[in-house]
């Protein structure tokens, strides 16, 4: 991910003027300003500006239906949270994602480890992994619906599909990236293939596995929402869709806000996982 | 290649092709072809002998369906419609993402102003917007274009910003030491360094665009490959479904390979490190 | 009939040649060398002369195109716990394990019990001067410390043969001299057979009993073997050190010049 602090230091077209000879408190204050308060202020100004314009525009152009103002939207959002509908919808969607994601990740990791270690397996299986990876999971929704009906299984299977290939390919990349000396070292000490597999290859691939899982999670969100819009009667996708039917745009917006927040939080979790374990488990 | 492009959100796959320690020798290619041939045979046999249901088409049935729809003009029409949507939205989204990304990466006030929205909206899946987009623009091309642009712009933006951040401080200092003005630093140092990252973002964005277009066509369309698949469901035409899926896979694969080539060209020329 | 005297050789390279499959030129040609038990042998030469290749063949990572490499008369078929390796750089360390666990890794693979592993690792960490750092992870260690971890890992396994591939090359100059002196001291205490690769002449003199000077590549082999009988512990400031340095330097710079000429062609 891009590093905000680096962008700060490297690429300021607007340079800050440093004040020489200022007092200690002035310098501390300036540092605080440059690092944090500055940012908070701009965030604040930005939010106020945008929300304000939104509210004014909605009032001025009477777009209550097409583009409800923040007041209506947040009121509706609060209502949905208070009567529990939003939580239930979020829980249902999340559960579907988790079930498919966990299953898909496990299969993907094993597949990726296999592809990374065995050249024969790679030659045999790679064509399928590369081909299927580019077929949008939603395209499979139609056949899957025919085969297993419109229940939970259809959505979970779709998520498994979404997850497997991305995780497998990233895992495989991780195995390939393992420095040769690690394997040689283990062989020097008499390590057998299974020992090398579990004690060296698997741990060394962990950051790549996590990266693959992070991408797969994002894709799974996309897929589940669309699947719920097509064939479900619960979940965030369904909630958003139901808003369309009744031209209830504020519900639609609420659903969108919920989706964005959930996605952001989950991605942060993955990021911190990668930061925490990735450094230690890095192939180097 | 160890450690190259480590900052890319695309992870290990975002920046390089998987040419690892295993070279693609003739043996590997032969095995791959053997594997595909074997798979096709097994598919054909199981669908004609074992399952024998309308829900599981055989290879020949799938091929036949492709032929029929092609001759009837349905397939070419749907292919061109889907391709147009993907390409148009992708081009617009990439351009917008690159421009805004360069801007946000370079000018920190702009970046901090838009950052909260960036971090929020990029996690909202494009498909979720189909509801408001339908309310605003109806079920025409604009809706789908909007969605594809949305799907592409954020990922290209984020990758572009990563590219700008990746510029080594020493290079900027070097240029400044030679008397370069800010716009010259941008043009001769920042921009070339960012190009590989932009291309990487575009590659990922292409995948997103595809997914979004198919979803949009399934949900709110009356033509295109996504619509073709989903509408076949009503008539239990699994052979058409499978045929379309094959076409989608071929497109996706081709597009990705083209990007892979482009990335290698660009990496060689601009050599981000 | 008088039976001919049978010499039992320890480590032997017999007319070994090696080339990479894709390349036209051979790295080593007619490379012959014998190592004695418990000696510290230095392989010295310019970059690209194939010294790492020779070590890799003894380690079992590569196989000779012609000729054989053998230990006690048995040809080398692959890596094994009797020939332990200290690699250049730190990428053979396992970042997710602690220092102590890294040192114990060879013992873990061999099935040694937990208690014994801990005890032996603790002892050898003291020997290399890392007592108290056992719980840290490699990422928290400096370059010099990481190389000590590798040495500890090599020592704890009680292998007879130690192969060291420019282990101090990536370390800063000051740490390097400290590590050289420490290694010399440790070796005097433990007396394993060591094949050590370097292009640093001073390092060779501090450490080695015999110093094999290699020709510049390609088609390289041993040009000359110099016996180093300076008494240990050796000091870099001594006159005898300087004499030996000058002698070796003459031989090596001919090869370095030759290598540079080949490069610029």
β-strand pairing of C11-19 with C26-35: antiparallel
Range of the domain at A180: 75-281
State how far residue B205 is from chain A, nearest Cα, in angstroms.
12
pTM for this entry:
0.80
Q: What rounded mean pLDDT belongs to chain C?
A: 89
Query: Residue C242: pLDDT above 90?
Result: yes
Q: At C174, phi and psi to the nearest 5? A: -65, -45
The residues, any chain, with a CB within 8 Å of residue C174's CB and separated by 6 or more, are none
The answer to whether the CB atoms of B11 and A170 lie below 8 A apart is yes
Per-residue pLDDT at A58: 77
The answer to whether the CB atoms of A226 and B136 lie below 8 A apart is no
What percent helix, strand, coil does chain A show, rounded to 5?
80, 0, 20
Is residue A105 within 8 Å of A167, Cβ to Cβ? Answer: yes
User: Are A242 and A125 in a shared domain?
Assistant: yes
State how far residue B29 is from chain A, nearest Cα, in angstroms.
7
Q: Which chains sit next to B, with 3 or more Cβ pairs under 8 A?
A: A
Give me the CATH number covering residue A218: 1.10.3720.10
Residue A255 tokens read as: 């659903």
Domain count, chain A: 2
Using a CB–CB cutoff of 8 Å, tell me whether A181 touches chain C.
yes
Nearest neighbour of A189 by CB, restricted to C87, C91, C106 = C106
Tell me how many helices (H) and strands (E) chain A has: 13, 0
Query: Residue A4: pLDDT above 50?
Result: no
User: Are A25 and A96 in a shared domain?
Assistant: no
Query: Residue B21: pLDDT above 50?
Result: no
Distance CA A189, CA A185 (A): 7
Predicted ipTM?
Answer: 0.86
Whether residue A31 lies inside any domain: the answer is yes
CATH number among 2.60.120.1090, 3.40.50.10490, 1.10.3720.10, 3.30.420.40, domain B73-270: 1.10.3720.10
User: What pLDDT, in 10s, does the model give residues C86-130?
Assistant: 998 888 999 889 999 999 999 999 999 999 999 999 999 999 999
The answer to whether the CB atoms of C92 and A284 lie below 8 A apart is no
Whether residue A235 lies inside any domain: the answer is yes
H or E element, residue C80: none
User: What pLDDT, in 10s, does the model give residues A242-284?
Assistant: 887 777 888 888 888 888 888 888 888 888 888 877 666 654 4
DSSP at B188: I
Beta bridge partner(s), residue C211: C42, C226
User: What pLDDT, in 10s, does the model give residues B190-216?
Assistant: 998 888 889 889 988 988 898 899 989
Is residue C256 within 8 Å of C216, Cβ to Cβ? Answer: yes
The answer to whether the CB atoms of C79 and A184 lie below 8 A apart is yes
Q: Which residues of C touch A181 (CB under 8 A)?
A: 87, 89, 91-92
Query: Residue A134: pLDDT above 60?
Result: yes
Average pLDDT over residues B121-141: 83
Q: Where are the domains of chain B?
A: 73-270
Q: From the candidates C71, C77, C79, which should be mutated to test the interface with A, based on the most A CB atoms within 10 A?
A: C79
Assign A131 a pLDDT band (cuts: 50, 70, 90). Answer: confident
Q: From the candidates C109, C155, C161, C166, which should be mutated to test the interface with A, based on the most A CB atoms within 10 A?
A: C109
User: What pLDDT, in 10s, does the model give residues C177-202?
Assistant: 999 999 999 999 988 999 999 989 99
Nearest neighbour of B35 by CB, restricted to A7, A127, A244 = A127
Query: Residue A6: pLDDT above 80?
Result: no
Q: What rounded mean pLDDT belongs to chain A?
A: 82
Using a CB–CB cutoff of 8 Å, tell me whether B220 touches chain A.
no
The more confidently predicted of residues A45 and A36 is A45
User: What pLDDT, in 10s, does the model give residues C136-180?
Assistant: 999 899 999 999 999 999 999 889 999 999 999 988 999 999 999
Per-residue pLDDT at A67: 77
Per-residue pLDDT at A127: 83
Residue C205 tokens read as: 């003199």
User: Are A147 and A252 in a shared domain?
Assistant: yes
Is the four-CA dihedral B143, B147, B153, B158 of positive or negative sign?
positive
Share of chain C above pLDDT 90, in %: 65
User: What pLDDT, in 10s, does the model give residues A180-214?
Assistant: 999 999 999 998 988 998 899 989 998 889 989 99
DSSP at C233: S
State how far residue A131 is from chain B, nearest Cα, in angstroms.
6
Q: Which residues of A touch C157 (CB under 8 A)?
A: 189
Nearest neighbour of A264 by CB, restricted to B123, B207, B226 = B123
Using a CB–CB cutoff of 8 Å, tell me whether A194 touches chain C.
no
Assign A64 a pLDDT band (cuts: 50, 70, 90). Answer: low
User: Are A129 and A108 in a shared domain?
Assistant: yes
Using a CB–CB cutoff of 8 Å, tell me whether A243 touches chain B.
yes
Whether residue A80 lies inside any domain: the answer is yes
User: CA angle, corner B181, sides to B180 and B182, nearest 5?
Assistant: 120
The answer to whether the CB atoms of B214 and A125 lie below 8 A apart is no
The residues, any chain, with a CB within 8 Å of residue C221's CB and separated by 6 or more, are C28, C29, C30, C31, C32, C214, C215
Q: At C160, phi and psi to the nearest 5? A: -75, -30
β-strand pairing of C11-19 with C66-71: antiparallel
Q: Which of B164, B192, B156 is nearest to B268 (CA)?
A: B192
Q: Which residues of A touch C80 (CB under 8 A)?
A: 188, 190
Assign C1 a pLDDT band (cuts: 50, 70, 90). Answer: very low
Using a CB–CB cutoff of 8 Å, tell me whether A121 touches chain B.
no
Interface of C with A in 54-73 (CB under 8 A): 59-61
Assign C6 a pLDDT band (cuts: 50, 70, 90). Answer: very low
Whether residue A69 lies inside any domain: the answer is no
Share of chain B above pLDDT 90, in %: 17
Specify the CATH class of C1-82+161-265 in words: alpha beta
Using a CB–CB cutoff of 8 Å, tell me whether A278 touches chain C.
no
Nearest neighbour of A182 by CB, restricted to C60, C94, C157 = C94
Beta bridge partner(s), residue A54: none
Using a CB–CB cutoff of 8 Å, tell me whether A70 touches chain B.
no
User: Are A14 and A95 in a shared domain?
Assistant: no
Nearest neighbour of C95 by CB, restricted to A181, A188, A281 = A281
Q: Where are the domains of chain C?
A: 1-82+161-265, 92-158
DSSP at B50: I
Using a CB–CB cutoff of 8 Å, tell me whether A138 touches chain B.
yes
Chain B residue with CA closest to A205: the answer is: B12
Whether residue A68 lies inside any domain: the answer is no
């Amino acid at each position: 991910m891009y590093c905000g602090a680096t962008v700060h230091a490297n690429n300021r077209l607007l340079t800050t003027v440093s004040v020489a000879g200022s007092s200690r408190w002035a310098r501390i204050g300036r540092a605080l300003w440059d690092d944090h308060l500055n940012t908070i202020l701009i965030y604040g100004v930005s939010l106020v500006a945008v929300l304000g314009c939104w509210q004014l525009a909605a009032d001025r152009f009477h777009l209550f239906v097409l583009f409800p103002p923040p007041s209506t939207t947040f009121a509706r959002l609060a209502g949905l949270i208070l009567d529990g509908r939003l939580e239930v919808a979020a829980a249902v969607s999340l559960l579907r994602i988790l079930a498919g994601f966990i299953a898909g990740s496990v299969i993907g990791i094993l597949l990726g480890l296999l592809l990374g270690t065995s050249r024969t397996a790679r030659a045999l299986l790679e064509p399928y992994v590369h081909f299927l990876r580019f077929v949008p999971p939603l395209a499979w929704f139609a056949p899957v619906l025919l085969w297993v009906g419109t229940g939970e299984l259809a959505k979970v299977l779709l998520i498994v599909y979404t997850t497997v290939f991305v995780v497998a390919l990233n895992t495989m990349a991780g195995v390939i990236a393992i420095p040769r000396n690690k394997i040689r070292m283990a062989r020097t000490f008499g390590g057998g293939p299974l020992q090398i597999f579990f004690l060296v290859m698997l741990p060394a691939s962990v950051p790549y596995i996590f990266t693959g899982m992070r991408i797969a999670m994002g894709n799974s969100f996309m897929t589940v929402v669309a699947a719920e819009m097509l064939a479900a009667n619960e979940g965030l996708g369904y909630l958003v869709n139901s808003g369309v039917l009744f031209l209830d745009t504020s519900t639609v917006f609420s659903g969108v806000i919920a989706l964005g927040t959930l996605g952001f939080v989950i991605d942060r979790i993955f990021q911190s996982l990668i930061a925490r374990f990735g450094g230690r488990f890095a192939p180097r | 290649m160890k450690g190259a492009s480590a900052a890319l959100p695309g992870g290990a796959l975002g920046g390089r092709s998987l040419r690892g320690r295993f070279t693609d020798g003739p043996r590997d290619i032969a095995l791959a072809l053997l594997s595909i041939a074997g798979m096709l045979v097994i598919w054909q046999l199981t669908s004609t002998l074992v399952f024998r249901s309308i829900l599981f088409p055989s290879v020949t049935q799938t091929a036949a369906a492709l032929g029929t729809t092609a001759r009837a003009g349905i397939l070419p029409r749907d292919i061109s419609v889907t391709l147009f949507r993907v390409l148009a939205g992708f081009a617009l989204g990439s351009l917008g993402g690159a421009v805004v990304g360069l801007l946000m990466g370079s000018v920190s006030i702009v970046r901090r102003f838009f950052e909260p929205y960036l971090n929020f909206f990029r996690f909202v899946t494009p498909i979720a917007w189909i509801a408001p987009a339908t309310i605003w623009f109806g079920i025409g091309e604009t809706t789908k274009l909007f969605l594809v642009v949305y799907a592409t712009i954020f990922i290209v933006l984020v990758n572009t910003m990563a590219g700008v951040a990746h510029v080594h401080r020493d290079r900027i200092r070097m240029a400044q030491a030679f008397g370069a003005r800010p716009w010259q630093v941008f043009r001769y140092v920042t921009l070339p360094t960012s190009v590989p990252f932009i291309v990487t973002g575009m590659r990922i964005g292409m995948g997103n665009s595809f997914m979004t277009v198919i979803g949009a066509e399934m949900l709110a369309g009356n033509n295109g490959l996504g619509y073709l698949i989903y509408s076949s469901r009503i008539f239990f035409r699994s052979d058409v479904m499978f045929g379309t899926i094959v076409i989608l896979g071929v497109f996706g694969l081709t597009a990705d390979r083209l990007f892979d080539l482009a990335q290698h060209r660009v990496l060689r020329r601009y050599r981000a490190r | 009939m008088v039976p001919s005297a049978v010499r039992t050789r320890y480590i032997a390279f017999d007319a070994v040649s090696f080339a990479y499959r894709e390349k036209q030129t051979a790295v080593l040609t007619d490379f012959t060398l014998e190592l004695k038990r418990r000696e510290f042998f230095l392989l010295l030469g310019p970059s690209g002369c194939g010294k790492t290749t020779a070590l890799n063949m003894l380690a079992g990572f590569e196989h000779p195109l012609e000729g054989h490499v053998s230990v006690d008369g048995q040809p080398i078929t692959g890596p094994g716990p009797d020939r332990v390796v200290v690699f250049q750089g730190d990428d053979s360390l396992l970042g997710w394990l602690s220092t102590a666990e890294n040192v114990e890794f060879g013992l873990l693979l061999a099935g040694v019990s937990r208690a014994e592993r801990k005890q032996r690792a603790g002892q050898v960490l003291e020997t290399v001067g890392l007592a108290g750092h056992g719980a840290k992870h490699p990422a928290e260690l400096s370059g010099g410390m990481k190389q000590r971890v590798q040495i500890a890992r090599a020592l704890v396994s009680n292998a007879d043969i130690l192969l060291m591939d420019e282990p101090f090359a990536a370390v800063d100059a000051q740490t390097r001299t400290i590590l050289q002196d420490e290694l010399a001291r440790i070796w005097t205490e433990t007396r394993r057979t060591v094949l050590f690769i370097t292009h640093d002449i001073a390092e060779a003199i501090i450490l080695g009993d015999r110093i094999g000077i290699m020709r510049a590549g390609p088609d390289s082999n041993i040009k000359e073997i110099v016996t180093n009988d300076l008494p240990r512990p050796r000091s870099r400031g001594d006159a005898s050190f300087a004499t030996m340095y000058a002698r070796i330097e003459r031989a090596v710079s001919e090869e370095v010049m030759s290598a540079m000429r080949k490069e610029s062609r």
